[in-house]
Chains A and B, each alone.
Chain A
């Protein structure tokens, strides 16, 4: 009898172990991806409202090339040659402008190297708004720590299906 209870416990233990393991796996898959921290607390909102800029003024390639590009320090220099506000972030930018060093921005959106994606094809030819793929960037008062709209093959294909664009594998996979 004693033996039997032990056995029962052993089996339960294994089950529990399995559940814990499975749960941990699930958490690992669904848990938030690693947070991206930018070197400077850049503020999109202030530039789109107060400074009256447009996405294209900084992400210069977005309409006419494959990559949107992140602006170089030269773009910031035209407005941030001296400190106007009180934020430390701005002071950091002014310092970088003065010394002419590039800010090491971390990339947030990136397709794997086996995927071909062109901004001009989607923005200029396809007339798709930035928001569709990048979310409410206008409202960001601090840098995004993750992809607001995650890049996934499913998302690409769903829109292509809706707009009758080819979903031939090798149009995207090179």
Chain B
């Protein structure tokens, strides 16, 4: 069984924001403008929160990239009344926008605020139309969306691997955020496949997951920041 997952090393993350921007471009995420963003209506599927420990100058800063954790025991999928969000067999939490009725139960259920609601029709300036990623559909007003681990890339990767008559390799399927990280802080792969880096990395002594006590079983693991 495949189980896609990610490990993020907080020792390496510099909070540069490359992943957030790569995600925006890859997934045609609309820019809502400063006012809407201020009102909590930003559509970004990724976010970086910064934790401050101590007081200047004795301060320690930790940047934590947040995205959909594709929980194994995802609360969002349990409350969806129309099967628009569900757990698939590869461990991904699917979100079918055309099926979504915009009730936002899933948003309320997600303890990580990973889901975003389209309050407005996505506004793309005409000159950007040709810069949109054709592999990712644009979401319309009134539906909930979220990070998909770039599963459109998986569809293409599987298609190519099948055409070349071989198994999927670790390098075939990497989300845009992981690919863009200049510090190599993010590692992605099949948690159940011993050949993939994440398989051993998730058993590191530094590993933790957010709000683990809720029993959501997130598939995004963090490696704790340590003093060197």
A binds B: yes
| Residue positions of A touching B, CB distance < 8 A | 64, 66, 112-114, 116, 118, 120-121, 124-125, 166, 168-171, 173-174
> Is residue B92 contacting chain A, with contact meaning CB distance below 8 A?
yes
| Residue positions of B touching A, CB distance < 8 A | 86, 88-89, 92, 94-99, 134-138, 148, 151-152, 155-156, 159, 162-163
Q: Are B134 and A170 in contact, with the CB atoms below 8 A?
A: no
Q: Are A174 and B89 in contact, with the CB atoms below 8 A?
A: no
Give Cα A114–Cα B137 distance, bound, in whole angstroms: 5
Question: Which of B134, B138, B163 is in CB contact (< 8 Å) with A125?
Answer: B163
Q: Are B151 and A120 in contact, with the CB atoms below 8 A?
A: no
B87 to chain A, nearest CB (A): 10
Given known contacts A116-B155, A174-B152, is B163 in contact with A121 (CB within 8 Å)? Answer: yes
A164 to chain B, nearest CB (A): 14
Q: Are B98 and A174 in contact, with the CB atoms below 8 A?
A: no
Q: Could you give 29 example pairs across A and B, Cβ below 8 Å?
A: A64-B163, A66-B156, A66-B159, A112-B137, A113-B138, A114-B97, A114-B98, A114-B137, A116-B135, A116-B156, A118-B159, A120-B159, A121-B159, A121-B162, A121-B163, A125-B162, A125-B163, A168-B89, A168-B94, A169-B86, A169-B88, A169-B94, A170-B88, A170-B148, A171-B155, A173-B97, A173-B137, A174-B151, A174-B152
Residues of chain B within 8 A of A124, CB atoms compared? 163
Supplied contacts A66-B159, A125-B163, A170-B95, 12 more A-B pairs, CB within 8 Å? A114-B98, A114-B137, A124-B163, A169-B88, A169-B94, A169-B96, A170-B96, A170-B148, A173-B96, A174-B136, A174-B152, A174-B155
Give Cα A173–Cα B159 distance, bound, in whole angstroms: 14
Give Cα A166–Cα B89 distance, bound, in whole angstroms: 10
Give Cα A52–Cα B175 distance, bound, in whole angstroms: 45
Given known contacts A114-B97, A114-B98, is B151 in contact with A170 (CB within 8 Å)? Answer: yes
Given known contacts A64-B163, A118-B159, A121-B159, is B98 in contact with A173 (CB within 8 Å)? Answer: yes
Closest to A126 in B: B162
Pair count A-B, CB < 8 A? 51
B23 to chain A, nearest CB (A): 15
Give Cα A118–Cα B151 distance, bound, in whole angstroms: 15
Q: Are A113 and B137 in contact, with the CB atoms below 8 A?
A: yes
Closest to B93 in A: A170
Closest to B94 in A: A170
Residues of chain B within 8 A of A112, CB atoms compared? 137
Residues of chain A within 8 A of B86, CB atoms compared? 169
Residues of chain B within 8 A of A118, CB atoms compared? 159
Give Cα A166–Cα B88 distance, bound, in whole angstroms: 11
A118 to chain B, nearest CB (A): 5
